[in-house]
């Protein structure tokens, strides 16, 4: 078996064109002393993390149905493109560190390439792979942003706010590199991998989103179509609409999956401006790409603080966890019709407008008083354009625990409804019953803070007989005067505190204690 075998592991970079990490692998291996062949022996793989399909963080799975469908479409497209070049996309499932380590050992891989990622959890995977395989040569590159790490190091001190970051980037004229042709002039030889973790796309089933289909070819067609029309010149006037396929760019799902790069979109934006002229709307498309860039580098800088309750703030927010309220928010059954319509849109399509995300996030935090991380985790599960940095960064922004010195954002739902759905068309489309359109705030809680029923009529129960069962005085003598050993107290996992609509006797948590275009 050859000693110059290479492996490229795809992550959130499911494309062949302008894939800087894949290109870096080719260039490095072909220019190394050990490589003298005209063809590069290389294999391609993608790993489904088994944890994605389990309720681990804040009662949610990482991979919802719409998100999974978009991923499967993206992988099918990538698989087709690789097959046209004589290669196979090896699909595996399991613990990523174990799967990748086994692939390296069982297939005598000498060099492994991958795209660097900004998420804390994702970075831990590659650190563990490097630790387990010290002999492995790792080639990685920043692949999904506008700028590389060398460029952005000059702006570390400007990360205290987006406005400061944007002004500094625009003032210094930081340039975006042109997209590259990954397979240009490179000959490769296919490698067939062996692994017990191998699987195929037929093993997965998911409900397809009616909004968009994933894949590099679909992304190229969508972006080309968008810039072939006058949409970019009207973007700022339409971007806050709650519904419609062409009211905003809809680039975010393709960017999140890596079907297309931010550099490719930037290049087409600048080409459009050269032909049709620049205005506030075309500037705002670039503005949104800068927001995305800012959140990415901010996530890299703050690491696991992205998931902390108090985030970057000095004090935690005055919110907690109300299981019933959170459940109603997820289902779109709150006292707020606009919020309900937005949540039903999300659950049906895997997508929600930027304006809608701000409204429902503000509602969860400010009206319902729920811990913002539960909302962020639900978005992670549902959104086809989930991006770890943008999602958790935007939620911190709304909750007031981000780096913005102005604190959180509280949207007046009644005012937002009047401004963005004055005729009620959006609400009527997504709310199918009169209950969804009710503003009766008594529908919010059927239990009090200790999960006791608030109104017997609401839950169809019998009133408690006031006659005492036993008139014998209660012995006030304690059963055991010894102090309780805190080590003996068993803490229940978060999954055990879900609301059970049939019974209110379960123990709950102590409740006292989006720029994505």
Say what the pLDDT of residue 188 is: 84
- Name residues whose C-beta falls within 8 Å of residue 13's C-beta, 6 or more positions apart in sequence: 19, 21, 22, 115, 143, 144, 258
Quick one: pLDDT at residue 440? 61
Q: CA of 323: how far to CAs of 217, 317, 374, 509, in Å?
A: 42, 18, 10, 8
Would you say 37 and 180 are in contact if contact means Cβ atoms under 8 Å apart?
A: no
For a pLDDT cut of 70, what percent of the chain falls above it? 80
Alpha helices in 112-204 (DSSP H): 120-132, 149-152, 162-172
- Residue 257, domain member (yes or no): yes
pLDDT in tens, 430-446: 997 655 565 665 567 77
Mean pLDDT, the chain, rounded, equals 84
Q: Provide the 10 A C-beta neighbour count for residue 431.
A: 19
The 8 Å CB, 24+ separation contacts for 160-168 are: 160/403, 160/405, 161/403, 161/404, 161/405, 162/290, 162/291, 162/294, 162/404, 165/290, 165/294, 166/287, 166/290, 166/294
Q: Say yes or no: 75 and 155 in one domain.
A: yes
- Among residues 345, 322, 316, 321, the alpha carbon closest in space to that of 332 is found at 345
pTM: 0.84
pLDDT in tens, 82-131: 999 999 999 999 999 999 999 999 999 999 999 999 999 999 999 999 99
Q: Length of the chain in residues, anyone? A: 517
DSSP H or E stretch at residue 91: strand 89-94
**Class of residue 63 by CB neighbours under 10 A (exposed 0-12, middle 13-18, buried 19+):** buried
pLDDT tens string 295-310: 999 999 889 999 999 8
CATH number of the domain residue 402 falls in: 1.10.579.10
272 shares its domain with 332: no
**How distant is the alpha carbon of residue 345 from its chain centre?**
17
| Banded pLDDT at 386 (limits 50, 70, 90) | very high
Same domain, 291 and 350: no
Do 201 and 348 have their domain in common? no
pLDDT greater than 70 at residue 484: no
Q: What is the pLDDT of residues 156-199, one digit of tens each?
A: 666 778 888 888 888 887 889 899 887 776 788 899 999 999 99
The closest of 61, 133, 135, 126 to 96, measured between CA atoms, is 126
> Does some domain include residue 12?
yes
User: Is residue 184 in a domain?
Assistant: no
Mark whether 451 and 477 lie in a shared domain: yes
C-beta atoms surrounding 324 within 10 Å: 18
**Would the pLDDT of 501 be above 50?**
no
In DSSP terms, which residues pair with 91 in a beta bridge? 46, 199
Residue 159 has a pLDDT of 74
Q: Please report whether residue 302 resides in a domain.
A: no
Q: What is the extent of the structural domain holding 247? A: 6-178+195-296
Rounded Cα–Cα distance for residues 75 and 46 (Å): 9
pLDDT at 136: 95
Query: Quick check: 481 pLDDT over 60?
Result: no
Last residue of one domain, picked from the residues 296, 319, 335: 296
- Same domain assignment for residues 426 and 312: yes
Residues 279 and 354 occupy one common structural domain: no
Same-domain check for residues 322 and 284 = no
Query: 221 lies in a domain?
Result: yes
In this structure, are 383 and 250 located in the same domain? no
| Nearest alpha-carbon partner for 395 in 320, 295, 318 | 295
User: In this structure, are strands 89-94 and 40-49 parallel, antiparallel, or unpaired?
Assistant: parallel
Banded model confidence at residue 465, pLDDT cuts 50, 70, 90: very low
User: Residue 151: inside a domain, yes or no?
Assistant: yes
233 pLDDT tier (thresholds 50, 70, 90): very high
330 and 275, same structural domain?
no
| 51-67 pLDDT per residue, tens | 999 988 888 999 999 99
Domain count, the chain: 2
Beta bridge partners of 137: 111
Q: Which of 273, 296, 319 is the last residue of a domain?
A: 296
- What is the CATH classification number for the domain harbouring 28? 1.25.40.80
Residue 394 lies in a domain: yes
Cβ distance 325 to 368 under 8 Å? yes
- The token duo for 28 is 């490095």
Write down the pLDDT at residue 3. Answer: 61
Residues 264 and 388 in one domain: no
| Integer Cα distance of 66 and 213 in angstroms | 10
Report yes or no on 1 lying in a domain: no
Task: Report yes or no: 406 and 342 within 8 Å, Cβ to Cβ.
Answer: no
Domain final residue pick, 274, 296, 318: 296
DSSP 216-243: HHHHHHHHHHHHHSSHHHHHHHHTT-SS
| Residues β-bridged to residue 8 | 44, 113
Which tokens go with 193? 């991998």
Identify the residue with better confidence: 352 or 38: 352
The label of the residue with tokens 């399909």 reads: 53
* Same-domain status, 325 and 224: no
Structure confidence at residue 467 (pLDDT): 40
Task: Give the other-Cβ count within 10 Å of 96's Cβ.
Answer: 23
Joined together, the tokens standing for residue 467 give 């006659």
């Amino acid at each position: 078996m050859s000693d110059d075998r290479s492996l490229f592991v795809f992550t959130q970079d499911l494309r062949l064109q302008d894939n800087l990490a894949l290109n870096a692998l080719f260039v490095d291996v072909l220019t190394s002393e050990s490589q003298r062949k005209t063809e590069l022996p290389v294999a391609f793989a993608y790993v489904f993390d088994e944890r994605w399909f389990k309720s681990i963080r804040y009662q949610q799975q990482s991979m919802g149905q719409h998100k999974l469908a978009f991923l499967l479409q993206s992988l099918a497209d990538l698989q087709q493109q690789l097959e046209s070049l004589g290669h196979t996309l090896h699909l595996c499932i399991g613990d990523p560190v174990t799967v990748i380590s086994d692939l390296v050992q069982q297939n005598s891989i000498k060099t492994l390439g991958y795209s660097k990622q900004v998420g804390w959890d994702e970075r831990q995977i590659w650190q563990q792979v490097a630790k387990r395989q010290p002999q492995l040569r790792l080639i990685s590159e920043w692949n999904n942003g506008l700028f590389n790490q060398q460029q952005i190091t000059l702006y570390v001190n400007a990360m205290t706010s987006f406005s400061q970051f944007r002004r500094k980037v625009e003032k210094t004229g930081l340039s975006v590199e042109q997209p590259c042709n990954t397979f240009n002039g490179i000959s490769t030889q296919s490698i067939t991998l062996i692994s017990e973790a191998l699987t195929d796309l037929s093993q997965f089933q998911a409900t397809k989103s009616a909004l968009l289909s994933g894949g590099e070819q679909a992304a190229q067609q969508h972006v080309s179509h968008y810039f072939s029309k006058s949409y970019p010149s009207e973007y700022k006037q339409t971007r806050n609409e709650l519904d419609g396929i062409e009211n905003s760019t809809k680039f975010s799902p393709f960017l999140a999956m890596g079907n297309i790069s931010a550099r490719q979109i930037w290049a087409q934006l600048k080409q459009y401006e050269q032909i049709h002229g620049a205005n506030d709307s075309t500037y705002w498309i670039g503005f949104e790409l800068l927001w995305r860039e800012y959140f990415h580098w901010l996530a890299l800088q703050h690491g696991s603080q992205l998931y902390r309750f108090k985030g970057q703030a000095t004090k935690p927010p005055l919110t907690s966890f109300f299981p019933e309220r959170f459940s109603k928010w997820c289902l779109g059954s709150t006292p707020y019709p606009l919020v309900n319509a937005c949540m039903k849109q999300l659950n049906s399509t895997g997508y929600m407008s930027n304006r809608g995300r701000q409204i429902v996030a503000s509602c969860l935090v400010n009206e319902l008083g729920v811990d913002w991380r539960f909302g962020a985790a639900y978005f992670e599960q549902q959104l086809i354009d989930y991006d770890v940095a943008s999602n958790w960064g935007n939620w911190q922004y709304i909750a007031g625990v981000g780096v913005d010195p102005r604190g959180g954002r509280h949207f007046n739902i009644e005012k937002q409804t009047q401004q963005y759905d004055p005729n009620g068309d959006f609400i009527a489309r997504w709310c199918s019953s009169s209950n969804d359109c009710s503003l009766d705030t008594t529908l919010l809680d059927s239990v009090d803070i200790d999960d006791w029923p608030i109104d017997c009529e609401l839950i169809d129960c019998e009133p408690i007989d006031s006659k005492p069962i036993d008139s014998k005085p209660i012995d006030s003598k304690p059963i055991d005067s010894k102090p309780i050993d805190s080590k003996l107290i068993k803490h229940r996992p978060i999954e055990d505190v879900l609301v059970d609509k049939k019974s209110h006797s379960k123990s709950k948590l102590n409740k006292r204690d989006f720029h994505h275009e």
